[in-house]
Amino acid sequence: MNCPPGAASSAPAPSPRSSDDAAPSDDPRRAGNGAEAGAGARVGDGAGVGVALELRQVVKRHGAGRGRQLTALDGVSLRVDPGERVAVLGRSGSGKSTLLSILGLLDAPTTGSYLVDGRDVSSLRARELDALRGTVFAFVHQRFGLLDHLTARENVEAAALHRGEPRRLRRSRSLRALAQVGLAGRAHHRPGELSGGEQQRVAVARALAGRPAVLLADEPTGSLDEDTGGEVMRQLHRLAAERHCTLVVVTHDPLVAREFDRTVVLDRGRVRAR
């Protein structure tokens, strides 16, 4: 893993790239994304090797004016080590989703700091932040987020367009990711032809196809029955372990949380237990 000068890296060295990663580009957009990809690689290479995440006294407020502000996070300090599997447990409104958004660089703290592999992300330029979001982090959401007019394979591929990957590489990775979640035979089906569990597995495949270093999941079983949700979680754990991803999952279900290395409990924006 390549880190910027002065930034400590505690993650293991990335594994060698597979042969399909070396495929020549047949997509003209690839050249235009080189700078962004390089910027992201300075903190994490996005090749499925976990990175360290650290929040230091993070406060997040929403709204304008003191009397109308809502404090979603109130002095949260948290470290997630490379390759660690962490569940964030709490009731609705406890700040779980806000925490996940900050970890995934979709939002920024009002005060406090957030470090990725030892580097404060507030020091990164907009281009570097965009590259980091696209190459290091991947999300799995509760509502799947699939495009109805695209097949399962096309939905997985669509997430790779911004990375400027060659068409052949996008297709091979998407098919491999679908096979890994048990959907090789459903690659050409549209979301309306898939069950809820299958749609969530497509979402997992989409997240993992880009070989993220950090996988963030927001209530990934919330829309599924118990048996289907359990199968999705088993696949998430297995694939994250195989790829050495850092895995952070938000849940309100203690049964889901107990399968993780560690559980962080949020209550009214504060960490109550870890």
Burial (0-12, 13-18, 19+ Cβ within 10 Å), 116 = buried
pLDDT at 141: 85
pLDDT for res 165:
80
Query: What is the model's pTM?
Result: 0.77
The reported pLDDT for the residue numbered 22 is 40
pLDDT for the residue 78: 96
Could you write out the DSSP letters of every residue in 132-167?
HHHHTEEEE-TT----TTS-HHHHHHHTTGGGT--H
What's residue 43's pLDDT? 52
CA dist 143 and 273 (Å) reads 28
Q: In order along the chain (274 residues), what is the average pLDDT of each group of 10 residues?
A: 39 39 37 37 50 96 78 96 95 93 95 95 92 89 89 91 82 92 94 93 89 92 86 90 92 92 95 82
Token reading at 67? 């009397």
